[in-house]
Amino acid sequence: MMKQRKLAGRLVSEIGLGCMNLNHAYASRVDQQQATRLLTQAYEKGITHFDTAALYGFGENEKMVGQAIKPFRNEILLASKCGMRGVNGKREVCGRPDVLHDTLDTALTSLQVEHIDLYYLHRLDPDVPIEESIGALGEAVKAGKIGAIGLSEVSAQTLQRAHREHPIAALQTEYSLWTRNAEIAVLDACKQLGVDFVAFSPLARGYLACELDPAGFGQGDIRASMPRFCEPAWSQNLALYRRFAALADSIDVTPSQLALAWVLAQGEHIHALPGTKNEQHLAEDCLASAVEIAPEVLAEAGDMINQSTVQGPRYSAAAQADIDTEEF
């Protein structure tokens, strides 16, 4: 059985499943049958935390996930997000209360549910005070449409402001060996406020799972525009990965298992949220909850891959402008 941790007041698997890459952000897509098979396998392997968003697939991801989880909906924590969506084929960040209410109602229909357990504001809208956005989500809690409110990719200061408006249950941001921005302030702020932390991309968008070749990224793969996957940074990052893979091999675990174990070891309030379309990778990720790795090995991994050794920023300048997180 997978180990559990508390998230939004419930005990769930410490490793969840991010569903974005079923049909969003990466070149390949899966159909409904493949998605249902993968999510069912995840549940059977002990995953009880599934995460989607209005943005993913411009609404189609929620439909796909909703259909897939129907047989076990009541046994899992279902999370989704608002505040960023597709409009006329383009991404839109909007935190206006009316838009958030409309997005939630669409999500409930798409997911085929009457209640979403954890609902995040996907991005901070710089044109709308965070208090207004959170106030709207608080109304949804009172209406019974959502169970708890979360935030995604925000700073400690924004979290504190939001928490004063309405209790925030969880904060989700990118966190892994190669992206440590949460360590500046957010991890401590979450701990102080009693907010659970969900680490998305704990495998660094696949970098920490297997040896990648950016030349093989298909059209539409978001990694193609990320500086860390482009030269001159990539050659140095690849050499770093090979050292990391050798470390994992020396203790008879996969690179992904070592990377997930490292994330989970950073605090009891931390959840890991990898995503995959690959059934073998799913199985490897789930087994990470059971591996026992010596503290000195985890420390060696952290010393090997961190903000000082990884080359290149995590986002392009345009993408970075959309997020509110602290930066080194």
Q: How far is CA 325 from CA 22, 44, 58, in A?
A: 26, 35, 24
- Is 61 within 8 Å of 24 (Cβ atoms)? yes
Cβ-contact 214, 229 below 8 angstroms: yes
Pick the catalytic residue from 26, 43, 56, 241. 56
Instruction: Answer yes or no: 56 catalytic.
Output: yes
Burial of 42 (0-12, 13-18, 19+ CB in 10 A): buried
CB of 48 within 8 A of CB of 12?
A: yes
Cα–Cα distance between 287 and 45 in angstroms, integer?
A: 9
Q: Which long-range contacts (CB under 8 A, 24 or more apart) does 165-169 make?
A: 165/130, 165/131, 165/134, 165/135, 165/138, 166/134, 166/135, 166/137, 166/138, 166/141, 168/134, 168/193, 168/195, 169/7, 169/8, 169/9, 169/118, 169/195, 169/196
Query: Helix (H, G, I), strand (E, B), or coil: what is residue 209?
Result: coil
Q: What is the spatial distance between Cα 266 and Cα 213, in angstroms, rounded to a whole number?
A: 29
Q: What are the residue numbers of the active site?
A: 56
